[in-house]
Structure 1
């Protein structure tokens, strides 16, 4: 029963035409959590990809998470297109919660509805989309809508644009080198800027502290960024420091068609706790080999000394590509050790070739990324290194899938707070605190303040306000000011939080493999509230066995641990007594890294002691019938760890092979509560 057919979709199109064509955002009723007639959408639906080429059929995956509702109509969740006033223009397709990967759906009955729809848009632009959920009240239909989300279409002129942009970038680099042979860096850049403004195909150009930014007529952003080496051939600043600011010269009238409009984004106000969402830490250092002072080694040493369990990921030099940033929202603490410019761009190490240009063409057209001709000038002059690389912009952060879970961002690049573009993009995406510099910063000062922040936050468990010392200036010219924006209360929690998963996400928990939060699994719901956790040996698209873990301090006097669990497996009952023994394990890891298993259940023990019962066909995973134990409660006294920081880790594991899936439902994880 993996795939449901669209038996009634033509009828639905007619119904939407009759009942929805006049529905607007104002006419849809606000959901009431206590009213079963209404359906609540948890967040904005996701769309991937969010931009496609015109006149090319492209499969796009849409997912929407909604509240459990017994009155939801069969075939009642649908994607619709709306106009600028949110009037429904057309019904596009149905979304399914059937566990069928051909529909993009991973788990049957988890209230995450999915569809894979082939879009083929004739012209460039945006279409506005919403998901509509229809419930039945007697003979009346009640329609609730998600937030609006967009699908963008662009024309594919990648071959011609690559030739145009790469040729001009090369000419800009050649012109700068020629000018540098006869002058200093400042004069060479100014002469190059004057030359650029006279060239065809240029819409706009802007002098920067350490380079020139260019907007081409095709909408792609490019330019040149210059850094000067010291006597040892190393880069001691994260930008080149000019002794004077350059004025913006006007472009010839015949080449002026539009300017650059940088919209100011107002950070959202949230009522969530000021707790860093997970223990995943990323150090991202695309220019580590070039910088005089490396930030990563000392940071790794500091982080090793924390008493909490962390997942530290480091990427350096060529590893730091555009693709390496697509999972950025998975991290709770992110440290960028890179080049930057005016708080608007952040450099990567990915070189521009014909292939990478085509791969990032949509990102380029939508100004999510730009191209830098990255130039290293020798201590005594002359160009030592020159290559074209990509840089990311604020729209790239806006377009990332998911949201940050109260993340802390340390942007260790030059001028990272000079303008609000990147700062606001991160904060508006769910980050809570942002650190950066108002001017060109030297590598040693950047390393030192970053070490202080990480020591205070990760090891000493201070909040961002206590960790930050206002008024710190780089002692070297141009004396960049270290700045903090956002929450002054952000910190790692030493209490076990979100054990009931009522945040609606994994805030507080770090994940490896398949771990997520759901509202129900077919007819199985949480033991309380609206949400529960699930870990598995790899449901849907995920192939890795799952675990979630969280560090916390065990209370001195009230240290009883308890939680509820429900074991579901396809290995029951067919593979009882065999080598195929999927398991559920719970372990406590102390601050020295010693792991103690407090609960372990495999297929044989479940079959012998828990009376598993058949839950298929209501619940299906992949290849076999699913059996479940139902909800069980486990308690354990953590008195041995009283006053200590420990990590609790829940794991769903494979033994034998991964053909048959197992999942564990979790809820009401508590420590020190009656």
Structure 2
């Protein structure tokens, strides 16, 4: 029985390919001429614990169809305690964990604040350190994977405060600033029950990347004085301040919060949060954008005109078109094995999306890692929200697994998936890609490729890319529209008042004559993503890099999500999958090299449908990880939790212990807090409040969630 729980109140607290499908009665759906198996068709192993084939230990076997080979590059990623390079921890020790792909001899770490060092233990692709002693304050810990020919490293800044802990990140609206432009920024932080402040306010600071203080920005308060301090609700544990910031850049503005407290001996000191990086970028003029687009289109035309003489001749023609532009700083070389790319002298990156007909990308792309990486432990997404993106359905036609999965998931009564999409062609835009982390299931069918292997290390460091080698790119359906780039920040009260491609972020409220009004600014995230190397300008549409996933997944972590990447080379060197894993996704699937539409539709479609229709866990639905017969060496592969299930029909996040409204649909004013004055959660650390309008919200609130009750 499916039920929808809807809660409304004046103010009350809550404790913690296209075509019709036909069924022949054999559990096989015929969709566009492709047999689409979604039950036990003999191609996948049984679920763990079901019969002898599952093994004597009750765990499912997921065999490898071929011997493992080396990853094409050595890739290292820190995923815990944070995947974005900054963390705050409650204890005097920390254990780091992460991923590694490729051939290596050792993974070593050093805490530069103490000099303590050691080697991590590994069971590739996973690694973990022993407990690392910390000093009070900032600890920069560098991790290095060393191979015979390659070295990969990454650092994380870990903040430790004796007797005090900032459990929740600093947040800022807007999170995009433009060089030389003054902007009011609404900054908040939520305090939990971890230590006591000796004052009534928190100190807001601007610091550099290493934690050195640049400026004191003011005192954050929890006073509910929305028109002055910007604080929305008095006594809810959320502290707020609204400084005016003029960023100089290039590079982020780092914000952190300090609290006066006492250590274990009773001595007073100031505890600090982990910093928040707020984009500070120069504006990209519409004229410069158009010039870059002209160069990319010229290169594509040159490639197409020369392809009759072979791929190398076509590459040479495209590269000559790049180099004819004096604003080009770096570009591909003829002998490179990755896709055609260019770097302009203003920092903008460009690439050519040149798919082979019938393929999910170029047919001459290199194959990547072919091992599968699975971890044990039963787990489920924290929300049934499902996002389906198909930027090139007009090319694929019937050969698109996303359309099939959308029909199956939408028709399922229990569990009741909240299906968003499929968003096809231009509707699969950057805004929807930025919103991926709201969802428990993300499924994408698109073109993919590998680019920027030869881009200079200096350029990659300037863009703060985690990996300094080749980058996997997924193409969106959003056409490059230079006239949509904003020339200045404008105010707004709703998205309808913002230019195309921007979003109204409300951060101010005023009251007059008994009525309230809210306002904010239109945030141009596309411009910030382009100028930070997270979005690539194509000759037709935009593409996203792993840095895009890390940025927007760090702003709002993935709720233990299942992510399917139906694109060529989406698992080439694992940079994209690592970004999803580092930001909270638990199971990610993709393809190691070029794949045909037919293969991806059948293979990915069977996996997705098996998880819904046959209630299989990820490892069983994945099976043996098959090879595309049309592209030897290109395999379907999985990273993460093999026991992930999407068959949970019950209510999710019922006591709000995620710290937010994950799994709930909100209308009007609804939020999750740790306290309200003297009122505390009946159990756990969180409770929800819905009202007739508090702070910036002027509408009566409600939250609801659809779930199933056993008959």
1:419-457 superposed Cα distances (whole Å, 9 cap, x missing partner): 222111111111111100011121222122222222233
- How far apart in 2 are the matches of 1:395 and 1:43? 22
| Alignment pair present for 1:390 and 2:542 | yes
Find the counterpart in structure 1 of residue 532 from structure 2: 366
- 1:298 is aligned, of 387, 404, 414, to 404
Check whether the contact 1:440–1:478 (CA below 8 A) recurs between aligned residues. no
| Alignment pair present for 1:422 and 2:576 | yes
- 1:56 is aligned, of 181, 196, 199, to 181
Find the counterpart in structure 2 of residue 614 from structure 1: none
Find the counterpart in structure 1 of residue 283 from structure 2: 156
Check whether the contact 1:133–1:143 (CA below 8 A) recurs between aligned residues. yes
> For the structure 1 residues 476 and 464, does the alpha-carbon distance in structure 2 shift closer, same or farther, using more than 3 Å as the test?
same
Q: CA deviation at 1:147?
A: 0.9
- How far apart in 1 are the matches of 2:693 and 2:376? 33
Q: CA deviation at 1:336?
A: 0.8
Find the counterpart in structure 2 of residue 623 from structure 1: none
Q: CA deviation at 1:494?
A: 5.5
- How far apart in 1 are the matches of 2:379 and 2:633? 31
Find the counterpart in structure 2 of residue 349 from structure 1: 477
Find the counterpart in structure 2 of residue 528 from structure 1: 683
Q: Which deviates more, 531-540 or 436-445? A: 531-540
Find the counterpart in structure 2 of residue 133 from structure 1: 259
> For the structure 1 residues 104 and 238, does the alpha-carbon distance in structure 2 shift closer, same or farther, using more than 3 Å as the test?
farther
1:531-584 superposed Cα distances (whole Å, 9 cap, x missing partner): 223345654445474324364xxxxxxxxxxxxxxxxxxxxxxxxxxxxxxxxx
- How far apart in 2 are the matches of 1:296 and 1:76? 50
> For the structure 1 residues 498 and 170, does the alpha-carbon distance in structure 2 shift closer, same or farther, using more than 3 Å as the test?
closer
- 2:328 is aligned, of 202, 206, 214, to 202
| Alignment pair present for 1:337 and 2:337 | no
- 1:443 is aligned, of 597, 610, 614, to 597
Find the counterpart in structure 2 of residue 310 from structure 1: 417
Find the counterpart in structure 2 of residue 608 from structure 1: none
- How far apart in 1 are the matches of 2:400 and 2:209? 50
Q: CA deviation at 1:351?
A: 1.4
1:13-58 superposed Cα distances (whole Å, 9 cap, x missing partner): xxxxxxxxx99436999567xxxxx543223212333342221102
Find the counterpart in structure 2 of residue 433 from structure 1: 587
1:473-516 superposed Cα distances (whole Å, 9 cap, x missing partner): 12323563100011212223456665443443456x34333554
- How far apart in 1 are the matches of 2:412 and 2:252? 49
Find the counterpart in structure 2 of residue 567 from structure 1: none
Secondary structure of 2:351's match? strand
In angstroms, what is the RMSD of aligned CA positions? 3.4
Q: CA deviation at 1:77?
A: 1.5
Secondary structure of 2:393's match? coil
Check whether the contact 1:209–1:240 (CA below 8 A) recurs between aligned residues. no
Check whether the contact 1:368–1:395 (CA below 8 A) recurs between aligned residues. yes
Higher relative contact order (CA 8 A, sep 6+): 2
- 2:362 is aligned, of 222, 240, 243, to 240
Secondary structure of 2:403's match? helix
Q: CA deviation at 1:471?
A: 3.1
* Counterparts of residues 30-179 of structure 1 (less than 5 Å): 30=160, 38-68=163-193, 71-73=196-198, 75-83=200-208, 85-102=210-227, 103-135=229-261, 141-159=268-286, 161-179=288-306
Check whether the contact 2:607–2:622 (CA below 8 A) recurs between aligned residues. yes
Q: Mind listing any 5+ residue stretches in structure 2 that lack a counterpart?
A: 1-134, 141-157, 368-373, 451-470, 487-523
Check whether the contact 1:109–1:522 (CA below 8 A) recurs between aligned residues. yes
Check whether the contact 1:437–1:483 (CA below 8 A) recurs between aligned residues. yes
- How far apart in 2 are the matches of 1:334 and 1:544? 31
> For the structure 1 residues 440 and 546, does the alpha-carbon distance in structure 2 shift closer, same or farther, using more than 3 Å as the test?
farther
Check whether the contact 2:618–2:643 (CA below 8 A) recurs between aligned residues. yes
- 1:323 is aligned, of 423, 427, 431, to 431
Check whether the contact 2:656–2:687 (CA below 8 A) recurs between aligned residues. yes
Secondary structure of 1:226's match? coil
Find the counterpart in structure 1 of residue 387 from structure 2: 282
> For the structure 1 residues 148 and 346, does the alpha-carbon distance in structure 2 shift closer, same or farther, using more than 3 Å as the test?
same
- How far apart in 2 are the matches of 1:241 and 1:53? 40
- 2:138 is aligned, of 25, 35, 51, to 25
- How far apart in 1 are the matches of 2:656 and 2:425? 38
Q: Which deviates more, 326-335 or 290-299? A: 290-299
> For the structure 1 residues 122 and 503, does the alpha-carbon distance in structure 2 shift closer, same or farther, using more than 3 Å as the test?
closer
Q: CA deviation at 1:319?
A: 1.2
Q: CA deviation at 1:96?
A: 3.1
Check whether the contact 2:298–2:321 (CA below 8 A) recurs between aligned residues. no
- How far apart in 1 are the matches of 2:385 and 2:655? 21
- What's the TM-score, normalizing by structure 1? 0.65
- How far apart in 2 are the matches of 1:105 and 1:82? 23
Check whether the contact 1:519–1:525 (CA below 8 A) recurs between aligned residues. yes
Secondary structure of 1:290's match? helix
Find the counterpart in structure 2 of residue 477 from structure 1: 631
Secondary structure of 2:201's match? strand
> For the structure 1 residues 123 and 447, does the alpha-carbon distance in structure 2 shift closer, same or farther, using more than 3 Å as the test?
closer
Find the counterpart in structure 2 of residue 566 from structure 1: none
Q: CA deviation at 1:100?
A: 4.5
Q: CA deviation at 1:274?
A: 2.3
Secondary structure of 1:458's match? helix
Q: Which deviates more, 480-489 or 298-307? A: 298-307
Q: CA deviation at 1:334?
A: 0.3
- How far apart in 2 are the matches of 1:313 and 1:519? 30
Check whether the contact 1:441–1:479 (CA below 8 A) recurs between aligned residues. no
- 1:225 is aligned, of 343, 353, 370, to 353
> For the structure 1 residues 289 and 78, does the alpha-carbon distance in structure 2 shift closer, same or farther, using more than 3 Å as the test?
same
> For the structure 1 residues 191 and 295, does the alpha-carbon distance in structure 2 shift closer, same or farther, using more than 3 Å as the test?
same
Q: CA deviation at 1:311?
A: 0.7
Find the counterpart in structure 1 of residue 618 from structure 2: 464
> For the structure 1 residues 476 and 98, does the alpha-carbon distance in structure 2 shift closer, same or farther, using more than 3 Å as the test?
farther
Check whether the contact 2:221–2:240 (CA below 8 A) recurs between aligned residues. yes
- 2:705 is aligned, of 549, 567, 570, to 549
Structure number with greater Rg is 1
- How far apart in 1 are the matches of 2:651 and 2:297? 55
Check whether the contact 1:306–1:458 (CA below 8 A) recurs between aligned residues. no
1:111-164 superposed Cα distances (whole Å, 9 cap, x missing partner): 122333221123423343211122479996443221122234233352453243
- How far apart in 1 are the matches of 2:254 and 2:597? 45
Check whether the contact 1:332–1:406 (CA below 8 A) recurs between aligned residues. yes
- How far apart in 2 are the matches of 1:431 and 1:494? 20
- How far apart in 2 are the matches of 1:118 and 1:272? 47
- How far apart in 2 are the matches of 1:197 and 1:87? 41
Check whether the contact 1:49–1:61 (CA below 8 A) recurs between aligned residues. yes
- How far apart in 1 are the matches of 2:442 and 2:623? 20
